[in-house]
Amino acid sequence: MASAAEQLAASLNLGAFAKATDLKNRIWFTLGALIIYRLGTYIPLPGINPQVFADVFQRNSGGILGMVDVFSGGALGRMAIFALNIMPYISASIIVQLMQAVSPQLEALKKEGELGRKKINQYTRMGTVFLAAIQAYGISVGIENLHSSAGAAVMNPGLFFRLTTVVTLTGGTMFLMWLGEQITARGVGNGISLIIMAGIVARMPSALAALLELGRTGALSTFFILVFLVLAVGVIAFIVFMERAHRRILVQYPKRQVGNKMFGGEASHLPLKLNTSGVIPPIFASSLLLLPATVASFGANQTGIIGEMAAFLGHGHPLYIGLYVVLIVFFTFFYTAIVFNPTETADNLRKYGGFIPGIRPGTNTAEYLDYVLTRLTVVGALYLAAVCVLPEILVSEYSVPFYFGGTSLLIVVSVTMDTVAQIHSHLLAHQYEGLIKKAKLRGGTR
């Protein structure tokens, strides 16, 4: 006999969605917030010449700037008020998570519950302001040195321009951080992730048009374009499969007697994801590898050590691909070790009386979980490396637009899966409420 959850899942349809008023309001709120974000990516920074900046940016978009521009939805290429996007907030969040692993004070706050989480969030916001201000000042100084045949990128360089740039870009980042929190609280899905995904998705139509233009001009053959599109669909399906993959570890709870009744004895599962680190490793690896090329491209002298490093770390170069794979594997293990603590999990299982059959509670359980997680992480790291390196080869060898990169596809697919899962959960909750109301009405009429 099917369970109640399975019956509810089978009964979900458009009719149920039409009756879920709260869910529809959440979806409309999310769409409205994302539209506001997209409008902000077209508001230029005060005091710059957009044409000159666009010309200079186009010549230097092969480094880390190109990757950040993809995540910002083109705001950096237009030097809009949301040019920094939400990246300072993500960097601050990662730094705070790293600090929790080495700081006893932050680790204690993490265990305090809601109050501790609020304090940690406050530290993250403070770190966001600090990082955004530093990046904004660096951008203001860098823009003042940009020139093209049409003139200077900044019309009136100086202290006032730097101040207004820092205030505007930092304010834009803080607004996006607040907007993301509002989407998470009042909308559907994780607001920060949806903002990043919206920026990537907004650039994909122009990327597809650029790919078709390469075919029209003869730079790419029609057969190659068809193969590439089929490959892109296959990569997306592969990402979905791997992101859903997890190892279910059986956890048994002993029976206990209370009075004349027996309780407990249930069995549950501890799910361990194949890719616990998410998209963090590719983002970190890309940033570190593209930094020398970006610095060299803006420097006046490109023949020094940085220039030589940039030449060896170019797209498609064997050294670049090799280091890219190594860094992805390193950050996969590093970040997984931060977000999942086998010792803490083993202690929680022992606290509530749970145990893994055949494994003694305590230290042995922690060692077993660490062993299983290490094996899963090896497969997850190889999966991330394969998904990210294959598009890199296509970008370098066949001039395929950067927006089809593995990191972009990972973010889009992962966020879409998470958002759909939350919509499904809201529909299930709505169905449960409807069944409870019907049961109460039936009970009242008898």
Per residue in 80-94, pLDDT (tens digit) is 899 888 888 888 887
State the Cα–Cα distance between residues 381 and 397, nearest whole angstrom.
24
- The model's pLDDT over 215-248, given as tens digits with 9 standing for 90+, comes to 788 777 788 788 878 888 888 888 889 888 888 8
Q: Is the pLDDT of residue 419 over 80?
A: yes
Give mean pLDDT, residues 156-164.
Answer: 89
Among 180-189, 195-204, 395-404, 407-416, which is the least confidently predicted range?
Answer: 395-404
123 burial (CB, 10 Å; 0-12 / 13-18 / 19+) is middle
Give the per-residue pLDDT at 257.
58
Can you give the C-alpha Rg of the chain in angstroms? Answer: 25
Share of the chain above pLDDT 90, in %: 13
Q: What residues contact 444, with CB distance under 8 A and at least 6 apart?
A: none
Q: Give the C-alpha distances (Å, rounded to integers) separating 322 from 285, 315, 318, 329, 385.
A: 11, 11, 6, 11, 10
Average pLDDT for 271-293? 77
**pLDDT reading at 445 higher than 60:** no
CA distances to 28, 237, 430 from 421, rounded to whole Å, are 17, 17, 14
Mean pLDDT for the chain?
A: 78
Mean pLDDT, residues 314-322: 73
On the question of pLDDT at 3 being above 50, the answer is: no
Residue whose tokens read 């170019």? 314
Taking the CA atoms of residue 153, residue 159, residue 163 and residue 166 in that order, the dihedral angle to the nearest 10 degrees is 50
Q: What pLDDT is recorded for position 1?
A: 38
pLDDT band (50, 70, 90) for residue 301: very low
Q: Which of 177, 205, 169, 182 is nearest to 84 (CA)?
A: 169
Give the residue carrying structure tokens 């794979």. 325
How far is Cα 139 from Cα 224, in angstroms, rounded to an integer?
A: 39
pLDDT given for residue 442 in this prediction? 65
